[in-house]
Amino acid sequence: MITALLKDSYGRAIRDLRVSVTDRCNFRCFYCLPHGEPPLAPKQQMLTYEEIEYATAIFVSLGIQKVRLTGGEPMIRRDIESLVSKLARIEGLDDLALTTNGYFLPDRAQKLKDAGLKRITISLDSLKRERFKRMTGVDVLDRVLEGIHAARHAGLNPIKVNSVIVRGHNEEEVGDFACFAREHNIAMRFIEFMPLDSGHDWRPEMVVSGREIRERIEACFPLVPVKGGRGAETAARYRFADGAPGEIGIIAPVTEPFCGACSRIRLTADGQIRTCLFSKVEHSLRDVMRSTASRRETIEYIESVVLKKEPRHYINDPAFVQPARTMSFIGG
């Protein structure tokens, strides 16, 4: 039962919660976690599944409609399926998704589906074995492709595939990915490289703009915007003009910021609310949940935090400073 609607001080409704369940990962993507994770924080600082369930149920009662489990690599956390089944039972939550690097899917896609997951996003930055290895630090392209097929076979739908496009690495593969989307009826999501890498190697000239990505695709396959526009979605969505299956989405937070329509809020693995990927401050929901605060007081805390949501990110300002925590901790 929805009791209220979370709104920030700029009038944006908050509808979308991303929950990072771990900051650990078995990949070493150079744009995310090139040198591995920071030292492991004490286990008691991490939210338990019961705490994540409690927090998520409160968020849903406040009007959150979409919940995405992410990380780090969410499938690395023990028995993630049991968390999925707890969240899938929350009344009013119709859209539960998970973002994964795909490594564990060949064996576990069906278990996720059986636990109540409806849809999935799988990251894939190259269809070429050597380049995949260079970008992710692991030589497992075939296994991830197998994971995508396992997700399809299990009935997870839609299947989205995320590719971070980085200048000098994989921009020439954009057309190949469009072919891949058509052949396998996949919703491709091309993402601009953001300054959230733990190596702090991001440079503006490494960003391949959403516009260039679109032009590269349209050189092979003309696109038509999907009706209904973008709404609060991060992706500008297109279908193929010739009616082929698959979809293209372009997420261009650097060159075409969509902060004015942002409906997202994030919960880190150690229970901190982040009101923006680029926030400089965090708010400890964990401490509130572990105090004597009642449900009503916890709700008031969340509402007060949402009011502090930043108007926009400042990536393009000369004084921009990368946040201390990286994508793998915040949860992409």
Question: Considering the rule CB under 6 A, would residue 30 count as an interface residue with ligand SF4?
Answer: no
* Pick from 215, 171, 173: nearest CA to 193: 171
Q: Which stretch binds ligand SF4 (CB under 6 A): 25-33, 222-230, 256-264, 306-314?
A: 25-33
Query: Quick one: which of 65, 126, 162, 275 contacts ligand SAM (CB under 6 A)?
Result: 162
Instruction: Please work out, in degrees rounded to the nearest 5, the angle formed at the alpha carbon of residue 254 by the alpha carbons of 250 and 258.
Output: 70
Residues 73-102, one symbol each (x = binds ligand SF4 by CB under 6 A, - = not), give x---------------------------x-
Return the half-sphere exposure (C-beta side, CA atoms, 13 A cut-off) of residue 251: 20
The least distance separating ligand SF4 from the CB of residue 325, rounded to whole angstroms, comes to 13
The least distance separating ligand SF4 from the CB of residue 255, rounded to whole angstroms, comes to 21
Would you say 123 or 279 has its CB closer to ligand SAM?
123
Question: Who contacts 63 (Cβ-Cβ below 8 Å, separation ≥6)?
Answer: 2, 4, 5, 6, 13, 14, 15
Burial per residue of 312-328, b for 16 or more beta-carbon CB atoms within 10 angstroms, e otherwise: ebbbeeeeeeebebbbb
Question: Considering the rule CB under 6 A, would residue 100 count as an interface residue with ligand SAM?
Answer: yes
* Pick from 58, 56, 52: nearest CA to 22: 52
* Pick from 174, 169, 175, 68: nearest CA to 118: 68
Return the residues of window 46-75 that contact ligand SF4 according to CB under 6 A: 71-73
Question: Considering the rule CB under 6 A, would residue 263 count as an interface residue with ligand SF4?
Answer: no
| 3-class state of residue 284 by DSSP | strand
Question: Considering the rule CB under 6 A, would residue 273 count as an interface residue with ligand SAM?
Answer: no
Query: Quick one: which of 96, 196, 273, 277 contacts ligand SAM (CB under 6 A)?
Result: 196
Binding site for ligand SAM (CB under 6 A): 25, 31-32, 70-71, 73, 99-101, 123, 162, 164, 191, 193-194, 196-197, 327-328, 332
